[in-house]
Amino acid sequence: MPTTPAFNPPSPSLPGKPTVLPWVPPAPTKETHNFAELHTIDLALMDSEDPAVVNALVEQVKGAIRDDGFLFLENYGVSLEQASGRIEADKARLLFHPDTGRWAGYKHPYGFKFNWYTREWEDDAFIPECLHPFMDEIRAFAEYLTGSVNRRLLTLFSRVLELPDDYLWNHVQSHGSPSGEGYFRHALFRPVGRDTAAKSRGLRMHGHTDFGTTTLLFSVPISCLQIWGHDEQWHYVPYKPGCLVVNIGETLEIVSGGHFKATRHRVFSPPADQAHEERLSLVLFNSSVGDIQMTPARASPLIQREGCIEEQGVYREFKKVMDAGASVPTNKQWREIQIANATDPTDSVRNRLGADQVLIGGKLMNQRDFMGVKVTLPV
């Protein structure tokens, strides 16, 4: 198989581009307690000419997405230096121009977020002006993540399902802009004030699963992301410089009949030695085609042979609805109703027992119903 081209972005020093200072990463935490251990997948092994190496890679991926639903990805074609350059471009702009009024809709209680959906890719009028000189690089970066990294991942996942290489790319992944129907996010999370920390009890984003196919997140030194482990406890995802943190979305959990796990995760305060640091985050949320209703890929020999796995999550809940003869939501309906009804961790009306929350086995859970599908998630 030919070697996959590495990311080769437009030059950052073209005439007219503002100079961007080098990014100085904050120190990783010294805390070691309560960190998750994740598999690391070397994506460059896909290009090996030795079928045994590629088969071993597919087996390793199979284990990772069944066990954890989260994995580290290395050697995917973007260097740490290339990713760091992108982070600094945003840091400079987002830190120093927060109140231009152009970012209405992107301001977040814990920092700033800017999300590129199809509309933003198509029309610069929807992008902060200070980012215009960098749009060639930002676009090339998102296109590489979607069209190369995500595509190779979906190829591996198709092989795990023993389907043709392009199955998930052609039938499930959305297309049509550098992020398809998903979105690319630049975010800056600031340390929260004492009031907010007390109201949210350290939480910055509730436990949830992502809606789409894969989420690609650059590993950053400030540890805030936590995943819900087999021990039913939250664990921080460790920092692994240069790696992508990949997690499986609900679409792939359902399409795989529960063989892939859409792992529950949340954003929490960092360990104490990072409490005063800002956290920069680059994330690509890859999304499935909006108009389809998610059902298991019955053509998969793996599913035919082993059946579906109903042990957890949204697949099990979708199956209950289908078994009752009712119609499940389309992907678009499913993601839009949840985004429209998302609550903030500081919401003292919804976040209490008897409102959105229940105790299950002594654990506090958010439990809600969307279009007849029950969603139960650890807080």
Q: In the complex, which residues of this chain contact Fe ion (CB under 5 A)?
A: 210
Q: Which residues contact 151 (CB under 8 A, 6 or more apart)?
A: 169, 173
Question: How near is the Cβ of 74 to Fe ion at its closest, in Å?
Answer: 21
Instruction: Give the tokens for residue 350.
Output: 């919804």
- The backbone region for 127, taken as left when phi is positive above 0, alpha when psi lies in -120 to 50, beta otherwise, is beta
Question: How near is the Cβ of 211 to Fe ion at its closest, in Å?
Answer: 9
Residue 43's SS3 state is helix
- Indicate the residue whose CB is closest to Fe ion: 210
Pick the closer one to Fe ion by CB: 44 or 117: 117
Question: How near is the Cβ of 247 to Fe ion at its closest, in Å?
Answer: 7
For the chain, the distance separating the N- and C-terminal CA atoms, rounded to the nearest angstrom, is: 45
Q: How far apart are CA 11 and CA 134, in angstroms?
A: 10
Question: How near is the Cβ of 366 to Fe ion at its closest, in Å?
Answer: 14
Pick the closer one to Fe ion by CB: 68 or 210: 210
Alpha carbon of 76 to those of 54, 180, 368: distances in Å?
15, 20, 37
- Convert 128-148 to b/e letters by CB count within 10 Å (16 or more is b): bebbebbeebbbebbbbbbeb
Pick the closer one to Fe ion by CB: 20 or 262: 262
Instruction: Give the tokens for residue 6.
Output: 């590495």
Q: How far apart are CA 268 and CA 259, in angstroms?
A: 28
Residue 361's SS3 state is coil
Q: Which residues contact 256 (CB under 8 A, 6 or more apart)?
A: 157, 160, 161, 296, 297, 300, 303
Question: How near is the Cβ of 55 to Fe ion at its closest, in Å?
Answer: 31
Pick the closer one to Fe ion by CB: 163 or 267: 267
Pick the closer one to Fe ion by CB: 210 or 344: 210
Alpha carbon of 377 to those of 49, 227, 237, 266, 349: distances in Å?
43, 12, 18, 10, 18
Pick the closer one to Fe ion by CB: 120 or 210: 210
Question: How near is the Cβ of 40 to Fe ion at its closest, in Å?
Answer: 20
Pick the closer one to Fe ion by CB: 61 or 227: 227
Question: How near is the Cβ of 282 to Fe ion at its closest, in Å?
Answer: 14
